[in-house]
Amino acid sequence: MGEREEVRQRIVDAATRLLESEGRDAVTTRAVSAAAGVQPPTIYRLFTDMRGLLDAVAESGFDDYLRRKHEQRLTDDPVADLHAGWDLHVRFGLDYPAHYLLMYGQADAGHRPPAVQEAMARLRMLVERIAAAGQLTAGVDTVITMVHAACVGITLSLIASPPTERDLERSRRLREATIGAVTGRPPVETPDLARLAIGLKAVLDDSDGVLSPGERALLDELLDRLADSDSPGRIDGLNRPRSARLNRLTEPTAIPLAEPTG
């Protein structure tokens, strides 16, 4: 690495540390030059302006993401490959939140970091493979917009949540719903028990006075757990048609005769 490249990398590293420790607003010409041990004009000479420096920072964090993307071997199922690409995108956001927010969290009309452009090119390739297989229900550009918006949205939402409260199941559900909508593959059906739990919680507000606050909090927690469950978890007979359940309830019960004694 030549001297110019060494100085450039030192500046990028200094800006990255500031970004990760103090956020975007801390990445100023004065702060970066002091942290990197260079004069402010050096930053403009190497990066033209602060946008150029921030693009370089974004690209440095994106390198690992792009490497993992390109290492992801394509399969014979282009829809499954798009699922895998979604998961990799979300994982990158959670592994590199500062870089992700720099790239996706601050809208700048008319400017898209080169790293984001490369990621979008990868997404287009994945979607075009699905189109070539005859499995898209909308145009390629429409699908790219929908998948990108949904995936970025859930990633930003997860980043904004406290680590202990991040629920990756929500990303999976949104992935299934979004990709299912644009490929015609229906998402996994919600188990009956989950549907009932969701419905019960929705009408609990009409039961004021029946449960104590503590009981209501406990019930809400249990219902949320059931609602987010993927397991079939069905009570025996609950998934039968309603008429069958009613018939079972109204069937006469045979009472065994007592055995004779003596």
CB of 90 within 8 A of CB of 151? yes
188 pLDDT band, cuts 50/70/90, is: low
Rounded to 5°, the CA angle 28-33-35 comes to 95
pLDDT value at position 144?
A: 96
Q: Give the domain ranges of the chain.
A: 1-48, 58-183, 192-250
CATH architecture under which domain 58-183 falls: Orthogonal Bundle (1.10)
- Let me know if the fold of 1-48 is the same as that of 58-183: no
Instruction: Work out the average pLDDT over 104-112.
Output: 67
Q: Quote the percentage of the chain above a pLDDT of 90.
A: 37
**What is the spatial distance between Cα 235 and Cα 251, in angstroms, rounded to a whole number?**
19
154 pLDDT band, cuts 50/70/90, is: very high
**What is the spatial distance between Cα 137 and Cα 133, in angstroms, rounded to a whole number?**
12
Q: Which of 167, 131, 171, 165 minimizes the C-alpha distance to 151?
A: 171
Using one digit for the tens of pLDDT, what is the confidence trace for 18-55?
988 888 888 899 999 999 999 999 999 999 888 888 88
Using one digit for the tens of pLDDT, what is the confidence trace for 203-258?
776 666 677 878 778 877 887 777 666 544 333 333 333 334 334 433 444 434 44
Q: 1-48 in CATH: which number?
A: 1.10.10.60
